Structure 1
């Protein structure tokens, strides 16, 4: 069976087309487009007209690609920006009208479950771990071991939300940093309580910003990693910390020149770094991994 999977994130829309044979699969095509659906007024829970149109245009193009690949099944999901927007259902309706694509708006809980399935499929879970998926609108945390999902929760502290709310300086000021960290600390109280009980050994970052971290660490060592063929990657912890300090202290222009940062992530990566460092420090975790498998691979896993 040939399946097309669309993941409509707050910043990026993803399309993955795969051929499934029994319990194995082959990825035939994948792409992502920086739609920036949460641009401008995500904290007002509104998709602004320009972002609305960009989303529709992107899905029209995805629809043509899906037709070319003759996919027999389409699974399209939307996450934080659509589920929290007052006009999110209007967007879903417009997409159906103009492209015939039916969108399933995932709850935060459903999103976390699918991220877990994707990361599990990658083979990245080797011990008691905390999975973190930093999206534009929300951040999902999943406490798990190699066999079980122990606990999961989605929080509305995505990088685009925090950037629009707090990131007003260049390079980021101590005041902006402290405002972000105080906000995260307040929001993640129950995460820290559950982790105190279980004490996860490893933080696994699901795709997105963590792929950027991996590319930046690699380019600093003059080596190249192929994220298209890689399922997971273990960071040297000291190398990650050195990189994170550099990212936080750099200006927008300095980051934009770093090989490995796509334009969409030049500022968002600062927020992602602050969240990651805070969680690592608070939970005293010094093992960090990347899973390139994320939500869309979790959707694929449910079809195997």
Structure 2
């Protein structure tokens, strides 16, 4: 397949993905038309829906990586299913909920907004899909019982050199930190006492470390468990926003990142220990 063809096909699928979700959202009565946003806002939202589908499709066509595409299909199917099956979205004026005499003009949507939340959080989903693709790439490059990837990345041999692994970890950490800082700001994560700047500085540094460490262990030492758990944390964090609960996990993920880092390090230590016992070596030799 020519080098440009996978990208073109992926972009077409991404545009169709975005157009389909937006068409359903408009049909349901959501205010997601171009006139509702600034040029930058529309580009961020619509472009996010394109990119979040383009990346998994491109990874599937270019490298035969299946996991990101499967999760994309499941996620998009879940979003459409929740929107189009009963009870479906219900639009109610705040006056009805508060039992006020006069309508307020402020509308609350119940049992809906899945497409809207998927759209505005597309950057977080994209980071999760990217990490998932990297995990699958390393696993299928290491465990010979699994089908090999469609093609290898010349710049990323597995195991990677220290310099290359550091570059991957740094880049992944920056992407993770940028997405999660934006996510925290959008959700209004804050702290009392006027120390928000310290919270976001602490959180940004932590988000970088939280991604950089497991990604380095993945591509340098082929430790799969930490990066797999990191990817799971990212995807579950994004999924939790569909319900918009006050008990959403992102505040803990952002402010208490060191707890998650501890879990990742423990998982990596367990995997490393298993590698050193004879049972694991025999199992690995069969892979």
**TM value normalised by structure 1:** 0.26
Structure with more relative contact order (C-alpha pairs < 8 Å, separation 6 or more):
1
Structure of greater Rg: 2
- Normalized per residue, the structure richer in helix is 2
TM-score (norm 2): 0.28
